[in-house]
Structure 1
């Protein structure tokens, strides 16, 4: 259930970021591009981003532990931008998906996605008392 919530929150965060034209992050939905196709595209891109973040992100973050210490955690901005860029590379093989522009704008977009994920994750996550009752 947590993974489904994470995918939905990722899809929402990616949608918010694609509304900001200055960040050069575009979403190309399935044809013909109606709202159902846009929603399905967002959910699929959110799923791919969650999988990339879970699998590749975990490995990169473990390998980069010395860089986290050396930069006081600022390397996480670059790593999150890389993971968003990797999601765009994975989905560009099809006629739909995420497209990114300049790398540093992708880093800013990843930062916004992280902030939105943190806020919505904090709201939608079950409280500790609720988890202990189960």
Structure 2
């Protein structure tokens, strides 16, 4: 359970960083910080579920492209996961939007990947036992 909570926290920080650095990614128009924090955490939960369920399938299907591009196609797969998260968050009532699918999602995926990796290195995940 602790590992799951740490992963959600890492995803939330990474999504917040992407929204802060890219104008095309946003978490609603409400200025209240409490509602934004709740929205970011809930979107991080959705993002984690999307990565756990859909990403393995997408990685298998995109494997030839990943090999041909020496791994760069992984960013496109990550951008697709971010877009799926937006599509799921909308009907759930979560104010998470990506204005331009391709570039905003790709740059957001790059930022999320970097921030998640950095935080995973710094924070323990409980697998070291």
One fold, TM greater than 0.5?
yes
Deviations 1:66-121 (A, max 9, x none): 22211111110100011001101111224433100112121001110110000001
Which of 57, 60, 65 matches 1:67? 65
* 1:25 is aligned to 2:16: no
CA distance in structure 1 between the aligned counterparts of 2:73 and 2:21, rounded to whole angstroms = 24
Q: Write out aligned runs for 1:61-100 (5 A).
A: 61-100=59-98
Q: CA contact under 8 A between 2:6 and 2:125: conserved in structure 1?
A: no
CA distance in structure 2 between the aligned counterparts of 1:82 and 1:124, rounded to whole angstroms = 26
Counterpart position of 1:117: 116
* 1:36 is aligned to 2:37: no
Of the two structures, which has the highest relative contact order with CA contacts closer than 8 Å and spacing of 6 or more?
2
CA RMSD of aligned residues (A): 1.9
TM-score (norm 1): 0.85
CA distance in structure 2 between the aligned counterparts of 1:107 and 1:120, rounded to whole angstroms = 20
Q: CA contact under 8 A between 1:28 and 1:95: conserved in structure 2?
A: no
TM-score (norm 2): 0.88
Please report how far the alpha carbon of residue 21 of structure 1 lies from its aligned counterpart in structure 2 after TM superposition. Answer: 4.6
